[in-house]
Amino acid sequence: MNIEEDLKICKDIMEQYKKLTTENVEEAFKLSQISISMYDRLNELRLQVNMLEIKERHTKSDIKEYLRSKMKLMEYIHVESRAIFNAANNDYRKIKRD
């Protein structure tokens, strides 16, 4: 398994999150789904660290720790994006009631 493509996707998700605004509800929902999917993917990679193809020499523990840090980032992006989506949804419901 090659980890490089997965790390590139993580970087893309992070860039999307940096550009996210509270007005972009659809993007927030999409980003929350992508980030939690990436979290799951990183978790699978972490469990199968023996099968990863890595160019540089690192210990298994180092790689697992690095993947765990990326997982935490994906979880944070998921939670924050979901909060934006939920807040907008609640605002829409309040407007609809009035």
**Report field, pTM of the whole predicted structure over 0.75:** yes
pLDDT in tens, 17-69: 999 998 899 999 999 999 999 999 999 999 999 888 777 788 889 999 999 99
Residue 7 in this model has a pLDDT that exceeds 90: yes
* Domain span including residue 92: 4-18+25-97
d(CA 35, CA 76): 9
CA distance 61 to 79: 27
d(CA 38, CA 72): 11
Q: How many domains does the chain divide into? A: 1
Task: Please report, as a single letter, which amino acid is at residue 3.
Answer: I
31 close to 17: Cβ distance less than 8 angstroms: yes
